Amino acid sequence: LAKTTQPISMDSYEGQEVNITCSHNNIATNDYITWYQQFPSQGPRFIIQGYKTKVTNEVASLFIPADRKSSTLSLPRVSLSDTAVYYCLVGDVIKAAGNKLTFGGGTRVLVKP
């Protein structure tokens, strides 16, 4: 499974856009990029997943350059409730073996009023 590197923490303010970049230099051809959000004492929650270019849903956008060696999660206009740890994972979610998710350190995002 491809190893990921993320910033340990980021601070932001309400209403700002937060961008978290994840490096995954040895991503494999079949690997997808998935981001999860985790609040304290809760299980992770799926945010977004992508393979290439740009993916957008109701909560976030995911930008993936052509070489796929990195990806950026963008959270628009964050609120205090977006304070959480965000994990970037890469893996082949289609094959059984690749569905074993490996969590890296994550990025602790603190949104201030």
The residues of the shown chain that bind another protein, judged by CB under 8 A, are 32, 36, 41-46, 49, 87, 93-94, 96, 99-106
**Considering the complex, what minimum distance in angstroms separates the CB of residue 11 from another protein?**
17
**Considering the complex, what minimum distance in angstroms separates the CB of residue 53 from another protein?**
17
Nearer to another protein, 65 or 105 (CB): 105
Nearer to another protein, 74 or 93 (CB): 93
For residues 51 and 29, give the distance between their C-alpha atoms in angstroms, rounded to a whole number.
9
For residues 64 and 34, give the distance between their C-alpha atoms in angstroms, rounded to a whole number.
11
Amino acid at the residue 21: T
Nearer to another protein, 44 or 70 (CB): 44
**Considering the complex, what minimum distance in angstroms separates the CB of residue 41 from another protein?**
7
Buried b (16+ CB within 10 A) or exposed e, 91-109: bbbeeeebeeeeeeebbbb
Nearer to another protein, 8 or 113 (CB): 8
For residues 110 and 20, give the distance between their C-alpha atoms in angstroms, rounded to a whole number.
12
